[in-house]
Amino acid sequence: MTGPRLTPLAASLPDTVPFVGPETQERAMGRPFRARLGANESRFGPSPRAIAAMAAAAGEAWMYGDPEVHDLRAAIAAHHGVTAAHVVVGEGIDGLLGVLVRLVAGSGDRVVTSLGAYPTFNFHVAGFGAELHRVPYRDDREDTDALVQKAREVGAKLVYFANPDNPMGTWHEAGVVEEMVAALPEGALLVLDEAYADLAPAGAVPRIAADDPRVIRMRTFSKGYGLAGLRVGYAIGAPALIRAFDKVRNHFGMGRVAQAGALAALADQGWLRDVQGKVAAARDRIAGIAAANGLRALPSATNFVTVDCGRDGDFARAVLRECIARGLFIRMPGVAPLDRCIRISAGTPADLDVLEEVLPQALRAAAG
């Protein structure tokens, strides 16, 4: 008997899990976390209207979801002032990134990203055999000039850039992003990951024509709308590119309950505004807890705060381990010098009470 008959590319790749889930860690510990503040989920939950819509749709779960995602695409288009031809919906931004890389970047094609940026994009690039080039962060933000310069040097087909950024929570003003688009080399497509745009200041969201063939924008219902468990994301781009997704996407990937929940969530902008206020208050409290422990919180335009532990990556990893051992789930950047930090999601007051209790204990243990 033989083993699985993988392609040479697949056989050459390591087994990869971009993020170790909190459930995996809970099983290893034999107990649940006291506070789950590591995955940047919305601890404030989805709109009650979305919950009601999902409950109503549950009885119809025997049916596949609409493969054209017609109603949700139309609502997203109206929300952004574009047409449905500019919108594609998929299984979270992660799923859409995979389809995009499959469409655009084949074996040997060059792709540019930042060293330490969202790793799932890199996972897709490796999986389709493209060649990844990385540039370092500058002042804890993605370096837009360096990304464009590297794209020009290598003839990149894709340039990945998240604004606001994950894992640092920092951001560039809209004008900087617009200048970046104008400076892109011919033939390069900017993948603008705006997963946290619903939680960012208005000045961070650029004005880019939906018909601009140089940019595809990615959004999600996982953050501000509190629907991470449904995996609903969408992209806005020029119709020719959006239409190409139909060549390879999973046409039945969006279930009926997910479509109903996202549609109702989008319609409840009052709930989103309420969540935005709670996130802002949580960010302020996290920054205050950090300062009380002699640490510095980076400015954040997301639903998490990155906290500089003031030493090197080994110390930050020790702090992380000690927090997890005490029942507090958080994460951290994985690449130096960003790995001197830990990352804490916005949580409820009860969650942040746990942070306030655990963080000083973890710091003492890590230092000792």
- pLDDT (tens digit per residue) in 349-366: 999 999 999 999 999 999
**What is the per-residue pLDDT across 278-337, written as a single tens digit (0 to 9) for each?**
999 999 999 999 999 999 999 999 999 999 999 999 999 999 999 999 999 999 999 999
Q: What is the model's pLDDT at position 17?
A: 78
Q: Which two tokens stand for residue 232?
A: 């609903």
pLDDT band at 1 (very low <50, low <70, confident <90, very high): low
The yes-or-no verdict on residue 53 having pLDDT over 90 is: yes
The yes-or-no verdict on residue 165 having pLDDT over 70 is: yes
Cα separations in angstroms, 225 against 51, 56, 130, 230: 11, 19, 33, 11
The yes-or-no verdict on residue 3 having pLDDT over 90 is: no
- The Cβ-side half-sphere exposure at 93, using a 13 Å CA radius, reads 23
- DSSP label of 340: G
Q: Give the E-state strand segments of 4-61 in sequence order.
A: 35-36
Look at the pTM and tell me if it is higher than 0.75: yes
Q: What is the model's pLDDT at position 2?
A: 75
Question: Average pLDDT, whole number, for the chain?
Answer: 96
Q: What is the mean pLDDT of residues 10-19?
A: 85
Q: What is the model's pLDDT at position 15?
A: 86
Please state whether beta strands 341-345 and 304-308 pair in parallel, antiparallel, or not at all (unpaired): antiparallel
Q: What is the mean pLDDT of residues 176-190?
A: 98
Q: What is the model's pLDDT at position 280?
A: 98
* Domain coordinates in residue numbering, the chain: 18-45+270-367, 48-267
Q: What is the mean pLDDT of residues 48-70?
A: 97
Q: What is the model's pLDDT at position 44?
A: 97
The yes-or-no verdict on residue 194 having pLDDT over 70 is: yes
Among 107, 46, 74, which Cα is nearest to 230's? 46
Given the candidates 3.90.1150.10, 3.40.50.880, 3.10.330.10, 3.40.50.720, the CATH classification of the domain at 18-45+270-367 is: 3.90.1150.10
Q: In the CATH scheme, what is the code of domain 48-267? A: 3.40.640.10
Domain 48-267 in the same topology as domain 18-45+270-367: no
Among 217, 180, 220, 167, which Cα is nearest to 196's? 220
Full 3-state SS string of 62-97: CCCCCCCCHHHHHHHHHHHCCCHHHEEEECHHHHHH
Among 326, 330, 321, which Cα is nearest to 39's? 330
pLDDT band at 148 (very low <50, low <70, confident <90, very high): very high
292 Cβ neighbours under 8 A, 6+ residues apart: none
Among 286, 298, 292, which Cα is nearest to 363's? 292
